[in-house]
Amino acid sequence: MEEHLKQMMQELGNAINESLSESDRIASAITQIKSAGYEVFLVLEATIGFNKCDETETDAEASGESPVIPGGEFKTAGRVKWTSQDQKFLRALKIAVDDEPRS
């Protein structure tokens, strides 16, 4: 694996850890559990996939254009169905979850 890619993956991991450790909501929940007399062990698993972009996408990035859909949104092949656990997890990471489809 490329050294630059390893560094970027490490940075992503650090950013995720930092956002979790700085979350007031997570800290509050952990404090409540400890106050109830329990020890807390938090283990999260994240699966992050990536593929090398084709030349068209790479050219867009090099020119300063966003390879993402204008407006910063991603297109999906269909409607994404989130479980309540998915929504809670994403909200804990301060990731907005739209409950209603956009028109």
How many folded domains does the chain comprise?
A: 1
Q: Is the pLDDT of residue 1 over 70?
A: no
pTM: predicted TM-score of the whole model, two decimal places? 0.43
In a domain, 102, yes or no: no
Express each pLDDT in 35-75 by its tens digit: 999 999 888 887 777 777 766 555 555 555 544 444 555 55
Q: Is the pLDDT of residue 80 over 70?
A: no
Return the pLDDT at 101: 47
Beta carbons of 87 and 97 less than 8 angstroms apart: yes
In a domain, 8, yes or no: yes
Query: Which residue range(s) make up the domain with 51?
Result: 3-75
In a domain, 31, yes or no: yes
How far are the Cα atoms of 9, 37, 43, 67, 98 from residue 71, in angstroms, in the given order?
A: 25, 46, 34, 11, 15
